[in-house]
A = this chain, B = another copy of it.
Amino acid sequence: MKVSARNVFLGTISSIKKGAVNAEVSLTLKGGTPVTAIITNDSVDGLGLATGKEAYAIIKASSIIIGTDLHDAKVSARNIMCGTIAKIVEGPVSTEVAVEIGAGNTVSAVITHESAKTLGLQQGGHACAIFKASSVILGVS
């Protein structure tokens, strides 16, 4: 499978919590980074997901917010991955930012050009990638 989503991370399912319609599925990536996804119960069943199985977390770059100076800020987004800015590609409206989060993983985000400027993002700087559990698609081979 090849997908346009810039972020595809292999992990192991650590927990599944089902509601009436949606389920919360947590993975642990290599390197220990946790990722939480909200998908439908039907998808959990359809993919045969279970604790201990491997799965891919797929996140579109445009679903990711970049944050700096987060300190004690608290946000509802379940996924926050911090690291070093490896690359910035600027366009007139959109800018793509790649953040190396360790263990060989890089997170790509597409934000507005204006935000990249306001945040003063530059290669080598520290930044966090923030995304909601509902922005994560899970895949299995």
Contacts and interface: CB of A to CB of B under 8 A. Distances in A.
Interface residues of A, number: 72
A101 interface: no
A139 interface: yes
B43 A6 contact: yes
A2 B39 CA distance: 14
A133 interface: yes
Contacts of A138: 3-4, 75-76
B20 A91 contact: yes
B21 A23 contact: yes
A2 B111 CA distance: 13
Contacts of A67: 1-4, 73-76
A104 interface: no
A130 B19 CA distance: 24
A81 B63 CA distance: 19
Given A40-B78, A68-B74, A74-B140, 15 more contacts: A1-B1, A2-B118, A3-B66, A4-B39, A4-B115, A21-B22, A24-B114, A43-B77, A46-B74, A47-B76, A60-B111, A68-B75, A74-B139, A91-B93, A96-B112
